[in-house]
Structure 1
Amino acid sequence: MADDTNTLPIFRANFELLVAMKQKTAAQHEEVRELILDHIKHWSSSHRVISADFEPGLDWFNVTRPLSLHTDLRGKVVVLDFFTYCCVNCQHVLSDLHELERLYSVEDGLVIVGVHSPKFEHEKDSSGVLNAVLRSDIEHPVVNDAQCKLWQMLFVNCWPTLVVLGPEGEILFILIGEDHRTCLFSSVKIGLEYFKSQRRITPHSLPIRLERNNIQPSLLSFPSKLCTSQDGSLLAIADTGHHRIVISTNVGLILDVVGSGEKGFEDGAFKTATFSSPQGLAWHKDVIYVADAGNHAIREIDLLAKTVTTLAGNGQMGNDEEGGAIGIHQSLNTPWDVCLVSSQAAPPYDPDCLLIAMSGCHQIWLLALRDGVQWYKRQEAFPKGLCLSLYGSGQEEHRNNMYGFKAGFAQPSGLCWDKGGMNLFVADAESSTVRVVSLTGGGVKNLVGGSRDPTDLFAFGDVDAVGGDVRLQHPLHCVYSPKLQKLFVADSYNHKIKAVDVATRQCQTIAGAGRPKDAEVAVDGATLSSTDRHFDEPNGIALVELEDRNVLFIADTNNHCIKAMDLSTNLIVKIPMIYRPGLSPKTSISPVLPKKSPNGPFGTALLINMSPVHFLPGDMVTFNLDIWGMELDATSSRQQWQLSISDSSLMEHLELWDEAQEQELSQTVGTLPSPRQPSFVSVRTRSSFPTLEVTSFTLFFDMTLVFCDKKGKMCLPKQMRFVVPCRLITNMTNTKKEKSHSVDLSYVIGST
């Protein structure tokens, strides 16, 4: 870089300008304007310009070709946003940039360019940057400067940093960190006016092409956190990219959708309420608590009243690091996760507090859910709705301390409670650690990962070891198993799930190949081990512990899906999400909230695994339904079946037949007049089936039935999923050459 681009004098001048601006009152806006205008005039004639250009060969987003500082961006006021997509402070700045783009178009003379300058090793991968662009609704051009060349040329040293350039590449402002909205907006406005008066702004366009227009819609969009109902039969999923909460059975049948899907901050009924990038969830009885990160609020979903209510926060980001106000009068700062805990250290451990991972201010906060909460060593009794800081000084660091308020966190992003040991586990993303807070003692200590230097937030990697020798990379969630005495961690940027023995602090990878890719799970579950499975930035996990099995549910965020892992067999399956009949993305219906756990290993939706079925090319397989033990309620309109497939793109290569009517079916759904119905559907592979690429797939038959026990005079709804592994046989040498055969979907219903 040339000597005339030394940025140190500009840093000093910016600091002096900001100090002078803060000393002015609101009535002195003309004086502030003169300060900014004098600054612009001085530095636009100082010949301190960016002499170099963007490195060739970099990956660009939201444009059809790479941009040049010397051609495309000449004649514009340019804001360079140096960011790394893991950084919550960088995410805060985006709202200001979105507003600037709304006020001034490229043709008006303003261009914003995101210069992604990665902190973590994984963030160098352009596929992750693309996902961040989509997840954050970024519409301006973004370049992935993986080696941070421009960062180094301009002596940038922290995220976020905004560099404002004049129309000839003159360096006008360097704004470090967030909270510079007033200076940024005033500088852009006054700069555009001044340079237009000098006829130095040109109205030319740029080759903009938004990345979001190139993707296919999916049922889930960047699902982040998830949780389960108390009996484990239902899932609540933060469908973050769609700004809504999805409630489903644990085998993928969507029962309800909370939120309109539009980004906003509105309480009310499920259909009209709005969220903004919801994250953490906690479920207690008929209520789900939501960390509504984009709205800086805690929301409550009432499953019986079917309403959404704001419990704390007001939609605006706050800077308070102490708290003490009630409900919506307390401003919050990017709550990323929530965890229900009890203020009593003895059974029955009834949850009366909600702990909040306040990632924006690097602290753990408390929200009292009843009057009279007394938090362990604190003497005062808290009223219902009180929200205040408990742990963390507010400094972004990896500092452990016997006094929790003196400890330092770095973007805490996941919480879970060990009620037996009265410990709170914290997935501390930016320090790449898992921390332990003693709720009774108040101290904070390290469990795994991190540096001995509390200010070092770069001790990351992928190393399975013990305690401080462990290396994680931006962990975002954790869940504790009292049964196994293990903590499971979503090691997001390593694309892995890890298990930590809390007694020995031994950390071990249990799933994930460490590469950001999605690989469909083989039908037989034997061709790949669990550590060969692929995830892409898993953000959330939830655990269901049953008598005969333990199931881990994983939000595979950038693959837009939920996966389930049986911890006894290490089998991992992708859960095909489908809407319950009568429910569409724009409507919602009441979920079935069981009073107790019904039959079946997974609760409400009965999961029935069938033996593998072999398909020959052109083979017709007839499916017979044989469910008995109770009588079907023939008067109900809810008797339906729906067929889906593990790879939805294969459905067009299957032919469905109604043999009774001797005609091809045009839909993958149908009604069921009887629970014992032979030949209710037949399936055949078309000649177009890609036999060279696909040798196995899985069919899912979802049944929605109502059974009645005449003796007991009661009727019970049942959701059932038959899982049918299918293998395509192209080598018929040793295979019986049947051109058609039948499969019985059988199950005996007991009265529950």
Structure 2
Amino acid sequence: MNVQPAQDLPEFGTWLNAAPSTLMEHRGRPVVLAFVNAASAWCAQRLAELALWQARNPGKLQLVIVQVPRFDFERQPQQALKLLRRAGATAPILLDADWQTWRRFKVEAWPTLVLIDAQGRERDRLVGLGGELDRALHGLCDGLSAPLEDDIRGGAEMNAEPRLPLRFPTGLAATADRLYVSDTGHHRVLECTHGGRILRQFGLGTADMVNGSASEATFNRPRGLALGRDVLYVADTGNHALRRINLLSGQVDTLCGTGRPGAPVEGQLSQPWDSPLHYPLGVAVAENQLLVAMAGDNRIWSYDLGNHRLSWRAGAGGIEVRDGSGHLAAFAQPSAVVAVQQVLYVCDALGSAVRSMQLRGDLVQTLLGQGPWEFGNHDGPRSQALLQFPQAIAHSADAPVLWIADAGNGLLRTLRLGGGELSTVQLPRRLHSPAGLAVAAGKVFIAETDGHAVLCYDPNSGELGEVPIEE
């Protein structure tokens, strides 16, 4: 076991949601430094595991999140804080904008947990996902006295998010007269009119995984939505599951997933829990199949709605932007998908890319994007155009155009299919991390995630307005 005095945190660091502190101030209590990247699904999963352990063991240790940016926009304190709060993070967050803390602790990968005992000595490190997290954390706390009441209560966050009807909305779906919203932070799915009046709420609003009627069922940070005939499919991200809402009866059930992350199992499933899933973010319907963007394993999967067969369609598993057929291709955290005829278009978040996959043959090609570390804000030919952390795509039924939510740049972009160039839509203002799109009735609906709002853009008039979501 590596036991040595730990370095301390930078004296003049940027704290996002708490008063500045040092490791010296926490002597007498174990500390876990979680080096994460807010844009990473793997890091979000590790933070969720830590939060679950802390809920079961309140006050036993102090968690400090060290946010180390991959993208330029993550160096902005407010945007970094919002991105972590989307994942449910409430622990003190230190923004390591220049990677100083990363280098001081000799960290080499996201996520890395540095475990520091009550005497201020580094006891262990957990790199990546997996590992015996429970055993390591319990070992860190063994032999210590019961936590104080103040430690159990924890400190209140500074500059808390406002209480609004929506909290970090993401996935959207729309028909000619209905708008469906994944109210991710409130763990529910809403059915609204285009004017914003809530008609139905699916889910109690508590983070759990329960099937049943609209008023009995529960979700956990639902994200992507896709409409089928009288059915709404949900990528229930926090539950690592695919869920289905019967829009006629309001009944919610589970198609696939166990409620916990794991390596999906190919084959015909006799029961939904026969295979785990790993951080599904986006979902689309094509030819009686659900196409799933699985961010946790960087692959595209399909679920056959007829025979309940789960199939690994494309992606090798590593974070990479590589073209090829099926398993020879590679994705970098696919976050959204849309099916257009015989093509699936994929929004590759960490690759700052838009990819295409032929539904017959599973050939993957890159439409936009230069690689996992190449990003920016440039319109023009596909070979030169750049995005930054795109989060959603949608298709215009009346035109060969893809709409792209360029979250890192706060922009709405368009790409004309068939060889067209990337263009920026001239909106009245910059968007606050858009992460959901839907096109219906000649309008583009935008989930302005960090603004806790849904917007409506009229391409004909150029008007942009908020959809007032309310009961």
What TM-score do the two structures reach when normalised by structure 1?
A: 0.60
Q: 1:338 Cα shift? A: 0.8
Task: Tell me what 1:152 maps to.
Answer: 103
Distance 2:227 2:52 in 1: 35
Q: In 2, distance between residues paired with 1:242 and 1:478?
A: 23
Give the drift of 1:92: 1.1
| Cα pair 2:16 2:81 within 8 Å, conserved | no
Q: What secondary structure, in the 3-state scheme, does the structure 1 residue paired with 2:102 have? A: helix
- The corresponding residue for 1:88 is 41
Partner of 2:400: 485
Give 2:258's aligned amino acid. Answer: N
Find the aligned partners of 2:221 and 2:228 in 1 and give their Cα distance.
22
1:433 and 2:353 are equivalent in the alignment: yes
Secondary structure of 1:131's partner? helix
Structure 1 residues 213 and 258: alpha-carbon distance in aligned structure 2, compared to 1, 3 A threshold = farther
Map 1:650-669 onto structure 2 (within 5 A): none
Do structure 1's residue 368 and structure 2's residue 324 form an aligned pair?
A: no
Tell me how far 1:209 sits from its aligned partner: 3.2
Q: Pick from 195, 209, 214 the counterpart of residue 270 of structure 1.
A: 214
Q: 2:263 aligns with which of 316, 319, 326?
A: 319
Q: How is 1:64-213 mapped onto 2 (pairs within 5 angstroms)? A: 65-70=19-24, 72-106=25-59, 108=60, 110-180=61-131, 182=132, 184-194=133-143, 196=144, 208-211=154-157
Equivalent of 2:281 in 290, 314, 336: 336
Inter-partner Cα distance in structure 2 for 1:173 and 1:364: 35
1:299 aligns with 2:243: yes
* Paired amino acid for 2:278: N
Letter in 2 for 1:567: P
Q: Distance in 1 between matches of 2:235 and 2:58?
A: 33
Cα deviation 1:572-597 (Å, max 9, x = unaligned): 11111222xxxxxxxxxxxxxxxxxx
Distance 1:174 1:509, change over 3 A: same
The residue type equivalent to 1:334 in the other structure is: Y
User: Structure 1: any 5+ residue segments left out of the alignment?
Assistant: 1-38, 343-351, 371-383, 452-456, 512-529, 580-752
In the alignment, which residue of structure 2 is the partner of 1:407? 329
1:551 to 428, 436, 443: 443
Are the counterparts in 2 of residues 238 and 244 from structure 1 also a CA contact under 8 Å? Answer: yes
**1:186 aligned counterpart, secondary structure:** helix
1:724-743 matches, cutoff 5 A: none
What CA distance in whole angstroms lies between the structure 2 residues aligned with 1:407 and 1:85?
A: 25
SS where residue 127 of structure 1 aligns?
helix
Instruction: Tell me if the contact between 1:447 and 1:505 (Cα under 8 Å) persists in the aligned partners.
Output: no
**1:565 paired residue among 457, 460, 469:** 457
8 Å contact 2:258–2:276 — kept in the other structure?
yes
CA distance in structure 2 between the partners assigned to 1:51 and 1:142 by the alignment: 17
- Structure 1 residues 389 and 96: alpha-carbon distance in aligned structure 2, compared to 1, 3 A threshold: same
Q: Is the 8 A contact 1:77 1:188 kept in 2?
A: no
Displacement of 1:322 in angstroms is 4.2
The answer to whether the Cα contact below 8 Å between 2:268 and 2:308 also exists between their aligned partners in 1 is no
Q: 1:417–1:424: 8 Å Cα contact kept in structure 2?
A: yes
Within-5 A mapping of 1:593-742:
none
3-state SS in 2 of match to 1:578: coil
- In structure 2, stretches of 5+ residues that fail to align are none
Q: 1:324 to 1:430 in 2, by over 3 A?
A: farther
SS at match of 1:435: strand
* DSSP 3-state at the match of 2:390: coil
Bigger mean CA offset, 461-470 vs 126-135: 126-135
**Equivalent-residue separation in structure 1 for 2:65 and 2:438 (angstroms):** 34
SS in 2 for 1:394: coil
Q: Is 1:504–2:419 an aligned residue pair?
A: yes
Separation in 2, partners of 1:304, 1:265: 21
Per-residue CA deviation, residues 325-364 of structure 1 (Å, 9 max, x unaligned), is 345112111111110112xxxxxxxxx1111111111111
Query: 1:89 and 1:233, CA in 2 relative to 1: closer, same or farther beyond 3 A?
Result: same
1:407 is aligned with what amino acid?
A
**Partners in 2 of 1:434 and 1:424 — Cα distance?**
11
For the residues of structure 2 that align with 1:495 and 1:271, how far apart are their CA atoms? 35
Alpha-carbon distance change, 297 to 103 in structure 1, aligned in 2, over 3 angstroms: closer
Q: Which has the higher contact order (CA 8 A, sep 6+)?
A: 2
Instruction: Please give the root-mean-square deviation of Cα atoms over the aligned residues, in Å.
Output: 2.1
Q: Distance in 2 between matches of 1:439 and 1:468?
A: 24
Letter in 2 for 1:392: G
SS, match of residue 50 in structure 2: helix
Contact kept, 8 Å, 2:187 with 2:207, in 1: the verdict is yes
| 1:225–1:238 CA contact under 8 A, matched in 2 | yes
Alpha-carbon distance between aligned partners in 2 of 1:60 and 1:302, rounded to the nearest angstrom: 41
CA displacement at 1:553 relative to structure 2: 0.7
1:693-744 per-residue CA deviation (whole Å, 9 max, x = no partner) reads xxxxxxxxxxxxxxxxxxxxxxxxxxxxxxxxxxxxxxxxxxxxxxxxxxxx
CA–CA separation in structure 2 for the residues paired with 1:300 and 1:276: 14
Find out whether 1:534 has 2:456 as its counterpart: no
Distance (whole Å) between structure 1 residues aligned to residue 374 and residue 160 of structure 2: 36
Residue of structure 2 in register with 1:444 after alignment:
364
**Structure 2 counterpart of 1:132, which letter?**
L
- By how many angstroms is 1:212 displaced? 8.2
Deviation at residue 100 of structure 1 after TM alignment: 2.7
Indicate if the aligned counterparts of 1:321 and 1:361 stay in contact, CA closer than 8 A.
Answer: no
- The Cα of 1:387 is off from its aligned counterpart by 1.4
CA distance in 2, matches of 1:408, 1:67: 41
Distance 2:338 2:34 in 1: 35
Aligned partners of 1:218 and 1:560 also within 8 Å: yes
Q: Which residue of 2 aligns with 1:26?
A: none
Give, in angstroms, the shift of residue 203 of structure 1. Answer: 5.6
SS state at 1:122 partner? helix
Label 1:211 to 1:487 Cα distance change in 2 as closer, same or farther (>3 A).
same
1:102 CA drift (Å) = 2.5
Determine the C-alpha separation between the residues in 1 that align with 2:376 and 2:276: 35
Q: Contact 2:8 / 2:22 at 8 angstroms: preserved in 1?
A: no
1:56 aligns with 2:2: no
Contact 1:367/1:386 (<8 A) preserved: yes
Distance 1:53 1:222 in 2: 30
Give the AA of the match of 1:310: T
Equivalent of residue 385 in structure 1, options 284, 287, 308: 308
Shift of 1:111: 1.2
Contact (CA 8 Å) 1:339, 1:416: kept in 2 or not? yes
Question: For 1:98, what is the secondary structure of its paired residue?
Answer: helix
Partner of 1:695: none
Q: 1:465 to 1:324 in 2, by over 3 A?
A: farther
Q: What SS does the aligned partner of 1:552 have?
A: strand
User: How many matched pairs?
Assistant: 469
1:481 CA displacement: 2.2
CA apart distance, 1:240? 0.4
Give the CA deviation at 1:424: 1.0
1:80, 1:113 within 8 Å by CA — same for their partners in 2? yes
User: Aligned pair in 2 of structure 1 residues 324, 213: CA closer, same or farther (>3 Å)?
Assistant: farther
Query: Does structure 2 conserve the Cα–Cα contact (< 8 Å) formed by 1:324 and 1:330?
Result: no
Instruction: Provide the rounded CA distance (Å) in 1 between the counterparts of 2:147 and 2:275.
Output: 46
| Structure 2: distance between partners of 1:53 and 1:391 | 42
Question: How much does 1:57 deviate?
Answer: 4.5
Distance 2:386 2:377 in 1: 5
Kept after mapping to 1: 8 A contact 2:30/2:117: yes
Q: Give the CA deviation at 1:157.
A: 1.8
Distance 1:437 1:51 in 2: 47
Q: Could you tell me which amino acid in structure 2 is paired with residue 428 of structure 1?
A: D
* Alignment match of 1:281 (pick from 204, 209, 225): 225
Match of 1:226 among 168, 172, 180: 172
Give the Cα separation in 2 of the matches to 1:237 and 1:52: 44
Amino acid at match of 1:443: L
In structure 2, C-alpha distance between the alignment counterparts of 1:498 and 1:222, rounded to whole Å: 21
Letter in 2 for 1:69: L
